[in-house]
Structure 1
Amino acid sequence: MIELSTTISNYEQLIRTDISSYDALYLGDVSCPLYPNNFCSNSEDLEKTISYLKQLNKKCYLRLYAVPENKDMDWMKELIKRAIELKVDAFEVHNLGVLLLLRDLNNTIPIHFGVFGNIYTIETIKVLQKYGVSRVQPSPELSIEESIFIKDETPIETTFVVHGKIPLVASETCFIMEQNGNDESNCGFACSKDHWLTRQQGEWSMKDTGRMTISGKDLCMAEHIVDLLEKGVKNFLIQSHGESSEFIETTGAIYKEIIQKAINKEDIYYTDKIEILSALAHEGLCNGYYFGLTGQDYYKRDSND
């Protein structure tokens, strides 16, 4: 079964966004537990969120904080217990300590190992499987060939990110607050506005969202979905951290249409779709590291449309 998923930070974002194109949602901002009503750190909205998604026949995966300190483990334990009671469809984990915490809590819910888990080899995946991991997201630094090799040779599922800014690093402190000379006790959620790190002459840029730095350009694999499907890829993720509802809705609709037409062997016309996706990309489109280069370039599919 083909699955198209994306990320949603909190209930407010969920209810104002049309998620009809998606089969599953990854719930929470894994970079900052202080983010308002973050699913990663606040269980209050989980029950109504899960109920809402189940009514829509959507799977819900709870993302767990990516860079916890020792002091975070107690509240994370309570959050996990509540999510187990509510029967989320999976946990997304980025940290070995959290993975062991799930084991200690006798968790039987599937576990997905996320982008900050730094998955490069199938040997790592074999170890993770022993601790209940059932799906992994390979490092974004890997090429398509390397990621496909992992998919083919590993005993568990693999997720492929096909659109959105590439997560580069997560920190336990907020870069934006530090730059403004404030500490996080005075956080006004400046991360809700765009903050760009740009080299002179516009050679490259990155986006900072507080505790997470992501690429400036948007990874776009819309023109390569057919090839990925032919290679047996089944789990497609649109990375929407820090993006608007318009971004989530528009990208989801485009990729859903491409996937459905590819499955049905129908003609796919890319020009208009790429123009729309380009308009949503502040710094332009790229293919990330999927083609083995720097991550800044975009390769257009050979076509006449």
Structure 2
Amino acid sequence: MTTKQLKRPEVLAPAGTLEKLKTAIHYGADAVYIGGDAYGLRSRAGNFSFEDMAEGVAFAKEHNAKVYVAANMVTHEGDEQGSGEFFRTLRDIGINAVIVSDPALIEICALEAPGLPIHLSTQASATNYETLEFWKNEGLERVVLAREVSMEEVRAIRAHTDIEIEAFIHGAMCISYSGRCTLSNHMSKRDANRGGCSQSCRWKYDLFDMPMADTRRSLLTSGEVEEEDFSMSAVDMAMIEHIPDLIEAGVDSFKIEGRMKSIHYVSTVANVYKAAVDSYMADPDNYVCKQEWLDELWKVAQRELSTGFYYQTPSEEEQLFGPRRKIPVYKFVGEVLAYDDTTGLATIRQRNHFSVGDEVEFYGPGFRHFHQPVTEMIDDKGVSIERAPHPMMVLTMPVISPVEPGDMIRKKK
């Protein structure tokens, strides 16, 4: 297969805030998806005002990137009120598409905001090409596949329809079928499908024996083992080792989950998948997944990793219980605000505590990396300090190699 027969997939990153939007694009994302103040499923993700959206769209356009808005809630009676005006505002701001699952919102958007492209959310659980053809005939431009679709099914879907396919390739997995869960509703009175999920599946559980005739609870554990024996919490997905399969199967957009993740996470994961896609498209016949990409992904906070449903039905090995089998060993400590090439000093905004004598790693877009010890730190009053303990404090420090605004700093825990 030659490069001419392959379409370069879009790297689509999450952006829970305006800062994360700019970070994701700076680190190579071709597009980002965000949430507004209504109709989305991440009510705690630092959602965007219309003013922030306008600034985000302007930034994206400057960098030839796109911005999509998730409006993928399941509407109950009355929830749809005001959505027509909401969609018209998104269209007029310049949002590239809206991601929707509820047919009522899809119809309202199509009728009241003509010209605003609609993508079907993964919440709609699209798992076959007949479904994709249906939504294509309804005027949608793209379908986000259910996360339960296998690689074989992706190939079959692509063979029978030409609508754009978006698929999750990295991030958290839901224990329920594409998010169709009401645990949160029952346990914390927060509606998961209207943006309030409390992630009840991530809680720790024990099993109790409660005989009908005995109201006493006897905990079924052996000895004094503290690790939980039972779990509903799925490991995360990572498809970094299977980029060729995804591209050759015809996936148009590689979606990274995580609108509530940090700029450290967003920058690292976008950087990795951008590098992998670029490498494959440059020379598909000689493509190799680099170990440095795998190592890089384990420098950010995440759960253990698997390939989800792409190659097999997940087993108990894809559930989180007992002691962790692998733990990230780095933490995010700062970001570069400026660099003076005449003095070799970088201006840093602190994000986590670090001190003189620490070994730190600088990294930036395009997989720029270097390590160095922290030899000196000077606070904003010009005073030499031994440590940077205060969140968001600004300081300067000498660096052994040029850096750029937006570069990040991490250190081993």
Same fold (TM over 0.5): yes
State the TM-score, normalized to the length of structure 1. 0.79
Larger RCO (CA within 8 A; separation ≥ 6): 1
Alignment partner, residue 274 of structure 1: 294
Q: Which residue of 1 aligns with 2:84?
A: 77
Contact between 1:8 and 1:241, CA under 8 Å: does it hold in 2?
A: yes
Q: Is the alpha carbon distance of 1:12 and 1:135 closer, same or farther for their aligned partners in structure 2, counting shifts above 3 Å? A: same
Q: Distance in 2 between matches of 1:172 and 1:71?
A: 21
Residue 256 (structure 2) aligns with? 238
1:294 CA drift (Å): 1.5
- Which residue number in structure 2 is paired with residue 131 of structure 1? 138
Instruction: Report the equivalent of 2:115.
Output: 108
Is the 8 Å Cα contact of residues 23 and 266 (structure 2) preserved in structure 1?
no
Show the counterpart of 1:157.
Answer: 164
CA-CA distance at 1:183 after TM superposition: 7.6
Q: Which of 23, 28, 48 does residue 30 from structure 2 map onto?
A: 23
How far residue 151 of structure 1 moved from its aligned partner, in angstroms, is 1.9
Match of 2:244 among 226, 231, 253: 226
The reply to whether residue 57 of structure 1 matches residue 77 of structure 2 is no
Gaps of 5+ in 1: 207-214, 299-305
Equivalent residue in structure 1 for 2:305, among 282, 285, 294: 285
- Opposite residue 196 of structure 1, the aligned amino acid is R
Residues 204, 156 of structure 1: alpha-carbon distance in 2 compared, 3 angstrom cutoff:
farther
Answer yes or no: is the 8 Å Cα contact 2:34–2:69 preserved in 1: yes
What are the within-5 Å matches in structure 2 for residues 169-248 of structure 1? 170=179, 175=184, 179=188, 196-198=202-204, 201=227, 205=231, 216-248=234-266
Question: SS at 2:79's partner residue?
Answer: helix
Determine what percentage of the aligned residue pairs are the same residue.
22
CA shift for structure 1 position 176: 8.9
| RMSD over equivalenced CA pairs, Å | 3.2
CA distance in structure 2 between the aligned counterparts of 1:194 and 1:12, rounded to whole angstroms? 28
Shift in CA distance, 47/282, structure 1 to aligned 2, threshold 3 Å: closer
- Shift in Å, 1:267: 4.9
- For 2:54, the equivalent position in structure 1 comes to 47
SS of the residue corresponding to residue 167 of structure 2 reads strand
Q: Which has the larger radius of gyration?
A: 2
For residue 123 of structure 1, give the secondary structure of its aligned residue in structure 2: helix
Q: Measured at CA, do residues 297 and 268 of structure 1 come closer, stay the same or move farther in structure 2, by a change above 3 Å?
A: farther
Contact 1:159 1:235 in 2 (8 A): yes
State the 1:238 CA deviation. 1.0
Give the distance between the partners of 2:16 and 2:302, measured in 1 at CA.
Answer: 21
2:55 is equivalent to residue 35 of structure 1: no
Tell me how far apart the structure 2 counterparts of residues 71 and 135 of structure 1 sit (CA, whole Å): 27
Does the residue aligned with 1:52 lie in a helix, a strand or coil? Answer: helix
Q: Residue 118 of structure 1 aligns with which residue?
A: 125
Change in 2 beyond 3 A, CA 1:18/1:104: closer
Structure 2 residue ranges without an equivalent (≥5): 1-7, 207-226, 319-413
> What's 1:96 paired with?
103
Distance 1:53 1:81 in 2: 20
Aligned in 2, Cα 1:37/1:174: closer, same or farther, shift over 3 Å? farther
Q: Flag the 1:202–1:277 CA change in 2: closer, same or farther, 3 A.
A: farther
Deviation string 1:181-237 (CA, Å, 9 cap, x unpaired) is x889xxxx996x99932456556755xxxxxxxx64220110100222233333211
Q: Is 1:294 aligned to residue 314 of structure 2?
A: yes
Structure 1 Cα separation of the partners of residues 310 and 57 of structure 2: 34
**Distance 1:174-1:38 versus aligned 2 partners, 3 A rule:** farther
Contact 1:289–1:295 (CA under 8 A) maintained in structure 2: no
